[in-house]
Amino acid sequence: MSFLNVRFYSNILEGDGEFAVFLPRNTAPPYKVLWLLHGAFAEYHESFQYTSICMYAEKRGMAIVAPSSYMGVYTDMVYGEKGYSFVEEVVDKAPKLFTFLSTERKDNYIMGISMGGHGSFKLAMNHPEKFYGACGFSSPVDMVYTMSLLESGRHGGGHELFDAFGSSEAYRDSVGDVVSLAKENLNKGITLPRLSLCWGDDEHAGPECSRLKQIFDELGIEMYSRIGHGGHNFDTWDPMMEEVLDYITEGADR
C-alpha cells in the first residue's frame, strides 16, 4: 500500500487538520473507500499499527481514509473542538483532493473503533446517501443513554463526556442521537446502510452495545453483531474486522 499523510487548513478547526490516505496496490481506480475513525484518547495510526486492516482493505481493492479527530469525540463539543463537523469536512474534501477515491454510495464504508463507532453510526445516519455500510467495535453508539448512565453514577466516564455532550437531554434528538435519527430515517422510508456492531465478552461497553442491538431489533433494523473473546483492545477487534467488512460490503456490486 501507498501511504499519504495530509495536513490542510481546516475551515472548521480554523487551523491545521490532518488525515491519512492508504491506497491499495494492483487495483485500478476509482477506489472503494473505507473511512476509518479512531477511538478517544487515540490517534488514527493506532488502527494501522495494531490490526491487519490494511491487509483486509488491500484484498478488497479499498483505499482507507483516516481522519485525526484528536479529542473531538466526533461531536461539536459543548466545550471543545468541532469534532463532528471536522470529520464531515474530511469526507467532503478528501475525494476532491484525490479524485481516484470513489464518491458512489456503493463504494463507501465507514468503520469506527470504540468512540469512533459513535462517529461511524452518527455519520451513517446523518448521511445514509453517502455510505453503503457502517460498523463499530466496542462502541457506545447511543450517547444519550451513555450520558444518562454517567449522570446517575453508573458509568466510569469523566468530565470529557460532559465537555463533549453536555447532558443526556441536551444531546437527545440532536444530530448525534443515533437512535432518534434511525427512527426518523425509517419513517421517511430512507434506506439505511448495512450496519454492524461487535464487542468482546469482557467489554465494559458490552451492556450499551447489547442494548443498541435490542433497540434496533425491535425497530426492525438489521444489524450484524458478534461477541468475541476479550476486552476493550485491538486483540479483540482485529479477528472480527474481516468478517465485518464482508458483511457491510455484501451486495454492493450487484
> Which residues fall within 8 angstroms of residue 245, CB to CB, at 6 or more apart?
34, 56, 57, 60, 109, 111
* Paired strand residues for 48: none
> Could you give the number of structural domains in the chain?
1
Q: Is residue 87 part of a domain?
A: yes
Phi and psi, residue 133, nearest 5°: -145, 155
Considering the domain boundaries, does residue 254 fall inside one? Answer: no
Nearest-angstrom CA–CA distance, 98 and 102:
9
Does residue 75 belong to any structural domain of this protein? yes
The pLDDT, as a whole number, for residue 45 is 85
Residue 31 inside a domain? The answer is yes
- Max distance between CA atoms of the chain, in angstroms, equals 53
**Domain interval for residue 75:** 2-141+179-244
User: Exposure pattern of 26-60 as b/e (b: 16+ CB <10 Å)?
Assistant: eeeebbbbbbbbbbbebebeebbeebebbebbbeb
**What pLDDT score was predicted for residue 1?**
65
Report yes or no on 156 lying in a domain.
no
In a domain, 41, yes or no: yes
In this predicted structure, what is the pLDDT of residue 254? 66
The SS3 of residue 23 is strand
Helix (H) or strand (E) holding 94: helix 83-97
Q: What is the CATH number of the domain that holds 30?
A: 3.40.50.1820
**Tens-binned pLDDT, residue by residue, of the chain (254 aa):** 689 999 999 999 999 999 999 999 989 999 999 999 999 878 888 898 999 999 999 999 999 999 988 777 899 999 988 999 999 999 999 999 999 999 999 999 999 999 999 999 999 999 999 999 999 999 999 999 999 998 998 887 777 889 999 999 999 999 999 999 999 999 999 999 999 999 999 999 999 999 999 999 999 999 999 999 999 999 999 999 999 999 999 999 76
Tell whether 114 is covered by a domain.
yes
